[in-house]
Structure 1
Amino acid sequence: MSEAEVLTRIEGGVGRVTLNRPAALHALTTNMCRLITAALLDWRGNPAVKAILLDHAGERGFCAGGDIRMLAESGAGDGRAAREFFHAEYRLNHLLFGYPKPVVAIMDGVTMGGGVGLSMPARYRIATERTTYAMPETGIGLFPDVGGGWYLPRKPGKAGLWLALTGARIKAADCLALGVATHYALSANIEALKQALVEALADGEAVDAIETVLPQFTANPDPAPVAAHRAEIDRLFAGPSVEAIFAALEADGGEWATAQLKTLNTKSPQTMKVAFRQLALGAAMTDFADNMAMEYRIGARVVQKHDFIEGVRAVIVDKDNSPRWRPDTLEGVTEAQLDEIFAPLPPGEEWTPLPELQA
């Protein structure tokens, strides 16, 4: 019998959730989302569980995202499996966002896409020297979902938009500088940190115990590389449209701006415009559930569009890294096309929070 994709158990005063698909870098499946959701719902009212600890088995990374190949195969058909996945995943994201007990996420290694959706709602987010964070969806014709519309525009300045459009991969120091992580610890100390949390929470109050333990294991990373470019990010990514951002980068002509422009020119024009509108709308929202409903509308449609299926072919299946986007220019992506992607879904097909969380 194959091992469970997610390991859930109570240790001390801790509800432990361990992602357990190491060969797939713990890429999330619909079943994994449902297993985690069931455990979290069960522990919400359990007084024996004082806090939640999210981590992963093995050493290859926390979570590389969702099961992208499955999404593309579904999108090429009727899209039902993809919609089921998004619905379950976004309900889990929403559950974590408002969870009544402290959550600690160990972002040791690759933390991308769906892994960001699991870790960002956590009160305590621990990065290590092995952490690589990214929302790389513009490179495969998807979009920075799992709450990206909420979290990214709330990063300092225009850093969130820069991360969303370029798919930039950042390490621990930048994660701390941009508020992606709350603490930094050496990977060699992570197992001891987890054990100390379990032992402390067996007796103490949750927040006090966690905040007593974490300083014993945290360290200071090297200086954050992003600090040298914060002014450029805020200036060059401040335009009112993606076209304006391209124009600003071209006009600047500096080494950093030219590198960003080169990266952006490899991304899906449709996805960049979707992400730009998504973050603008998300920034104005006051309810995380509204953001997730918006992202579900986008996901339900984008997953069946050419750019996502082509992006997965180029990056994940054939690995030629030469996607043929359609349209292949920003000007070719019209406001009417974006309106269709963001439009409400038919009655009965919209995303809703878990019944347990509905007023």
Structure 2
Amino acid sequence: MSNENNLITTVQGGLGIISLDRTTHLNALSLPMIQGITAQLENWSDLPEIQAILINSNSPKAFCAGGDIRYLYDSYKAGNTQYQDYFATEYVMLNTLRQFAKPVIVFLDGYVLGGGFGLAQACHIQVTSEKSRFAMPETAIGFFPDVGATHFLSRLDEIGVYLALTGEQISSSDALYLDLVDYHLPSERFPELQAALIAASSLNPTEIRKIISGFITTPVESELKTLADHIHKHFAYQNLDEIERSLAHETDAKDQSWADKTLNTLKQRPLIAKQTSLKLQQIGQNLSLEKCMQLERDLQDIWFEQGDFIEGVRALIVDKDKNPQWQTENSKFEKTLEKLWPVWSKQSIEHMYNTVV
């Protein structure tokens, strides 16, 4: 057993286990944690005795609450480029996970937010409990959903747009309904499932899924499923103004309360973050995962200079006055984005053409 970089790594049976262990920060991913996950995967890749990987958490409250946004803020304020290095390193980790030759299982028990959501999506088999809450809440701090959300949320059409713009949390039942996770089982049965995986003589994908299937239960009904028609109605529009106008003019009494709440949430989010997040979801529908990730990386490297991230973190994390002064417009940045979107739109067309051909 080793415990480095807020990671506890063990080998039990044919299972290599990486446990996130930064519990005082709800396992927010520090740079050493990200580097450690990548390094451990590389160390285990050629060891035949390790047949599969399990990533879990030692926190009773969270799998992972996201990226280390305070580190990113401090780096930018210090005038260095470590925040850009953080993103680059994080995306190497995500790609390493996705491309790993052995099955990678993840246990999700508690908050799965932002970078933690992206980490979970990069794993091959996702197992969640009733305690889990999922969200990509980046617009609340003046950012946009990244870590692959341009791909995995955009596949959800209007529901993906809703989740990207509002940052609303959803339940494990919702995540299962949206196919963002594979299996649901009671939180208290995770140790028993882990023991079964450790005891297994074979841990190929078929055997792993067979073992997990012996523990699964049916969750409560998805609340998001009951809201799906409302979400489709209001979030199918191409422009942010149209979405907000649709919510504001909702006349159906059954939908009124939800529409008002959703509109109020959107009004609290900064304009540039909302517009960019909407555009990413629209463009991402026709891009490969690799192209979506590259688009996100292009934006990350210019966002801190032009977007509202620094002000959002200041108001909500640093000074905690909860009174961010969002930009109402940024002509220079909007011109930069206008130049960027056609490039990616052209690539999306090429992608569709190549897929058909």
Tell me if both proteins adopt one fold, taking TM over 0.5 as the criterion: yes
The residue identity in structure 2 corresponding to 1:229 is L
The residue identity in structure 1 corresponding to 2:164 is A
The 1-side partners of 2:153 and 2:328 are apart by 26
Match of 1:229 in 2: 227
- In structure 2, the CA distance between the partners of 1:4 and 1:92, relative to structure 1 (3 Å rule), is closer
Q: 1:286-337, CA deviations, whole angstroms, 9 ceiling, x for partnerless residues? A: 2x22222211111111133451111111211232322110126xx9797414
Match of 1:161 in 2: 161
TM-score, scaled relative to structure 2: 0.89
Matched, 1:9 2:10: yes
From 269, 272, 297, give the equivalent of 1:270.
272
Q: Tell me how far 1:341 sits from its aligned partner.
A: 7.0
The 2-side partners of 1:116 and 1:110 are apart by 9
Match of 1:199 in 2: 199
The residue identity in structure 1 corresponding to 2:227 is H
| Contact kept? 2:306, 2:333, Cα under 8 Å | no
Stretch moving more, 9-18 or 131-140: 9-18
| Contact kept? 2:315, 2:323, Cα under 8 Å | yes
Match of 2:350 in 1: none
The 1-side partners of 2:50 and 2:290 are apart by 25
Q: What is the SS of the residue equivalent to 2:170?
A: coil
Q: 1:243-269, CA deviations, whole angstroms, 9 ceiling, x for partnerless residues? A: 221122122252211111010000111
| Contact kept? 1:79, 1:303, Cα under 8 Å | no
- In structure 2, the CA distance between the partners of 1:339 and 1:15, relative to structure 1 (3 Å rule), is farther
TM-score, scaled relative to structure 1: 0.88
Match of 1:260 in 2: 262
Match of 1:356 in 2: none
- In structure 2, the CA distance between the partners of 1:306 and 1:334, relative to structure 1 (3 Å rule), is closer
| Contact kept? 1:166, 1:263, Cα under 8 Å | yes
Q: What is the SS of the residue equivalent to 1:304?
A: helix
Matched, 1:338 2:340: no
Match of 1:122 in 2: 123
- In structure 2, the CA distance between the partners of 1:205 and 1:109, relative to structure 1 (3 Å rule), is closer
Q: 1:8-60, CA deviations, whole angstroms, 9 ceiling, x for partnerless residues? A: 23221112111110001111111111111111122233322221111011312
The residue identity in structure 1 corresponding to 2:261 is A
Q: Tell me how far 1:83 sits from its aligned partner.
A: 0.4
- In structure 2, the CA distance between the partners of 1:333 and 1:148, relative to structure 1 (3 Å rule), is farther
Match of 1:175 in 2: 175
The 1-side partners of 2:149 and 2:106 are apart by 17
The residue identity in structure 1 corresponding to 2:132 is T
Return 5+ residue gaps in structure 2 as ranges: 344-357
The 1-side partners of 2:80 and 2:283 are apart by 25
Q: What is the SS of the residue equivalent to 1:217?
A: coil
| Contact kept? 1:315, 1:321, Cα under 8 Å | yes
Q: Tell me how far 1:89 sits from its aligned partner.
A: 0.3
The 1-side partners of 2:46 and 2:150 are apart by 30
| Contact kept? 1:79, 1:304, Cα under 8 Å | no
Aligned residues: 337
Q: Tell me how far 1:342 sits from its aligned partner.
A: 6.5
The 1-side partners of 2:163 and 2:192 are apart by 32
Q: What is the SS of the residue equivalent to 2:214?
A: helix
The residue identity in structure 2 corresponding to 1:339 is E
The 1-side partners of 2:311 and 2:210 are apart by 49
Q: 1:188-246, CA deviations, whole angstroms, 9 ceiling, x for partnerless residues? A: 1111111111111xx12412321221122211111111111101111211111212211
Identity %: 32
Match of 1:209 in 2: 207
Match of 1:35 in 2: 36
The residue identity in structure 2 corresponding to 1:266 is Q
Choose between structure 1 and 2 for higher RCO, CA contacts under 8 A separated by at least 6 residues.
Answer: 1
RMSD of the TM alignment (CA)?
2.1
Q: 1:63-106, CA deviations, whole angstroms, 9 ceiling, x for partnerless residues? A: 00011111112223435111010000011111222222221111
Q: What is the SS of the residue equivalent to 1:219?
A: coil
Match of 1:300 in 2: 301
Match of 2:354 in 1: none
| Contact kept? 1:159, 1:234, Cα under 8 Å | yes
Q: Tell me how far 1:274 sits from its aligned partner.
A: 1.3
| Contact kept? 1:75, 1:305, Cα under 8 Å | no
| Contact kept? 1:327, 1:333, Cα under 8 Å | no
Match of 2:246 in 1: 248
The residue identity in structure 2 corresponding to 1:235 is K
Match of 2:137 in 1: 136
Q: Which runs of 4+ in 1 moved over 6 A?
A: 331-334, 340-344
Match of 1:238 in 2: 236
More helix by proportion, 1 or 2? 2
The residue identity in structure 2 corresponding to 1:189 is R
Q: What is the SS of the residue equivalent to 1:83?
A: helix
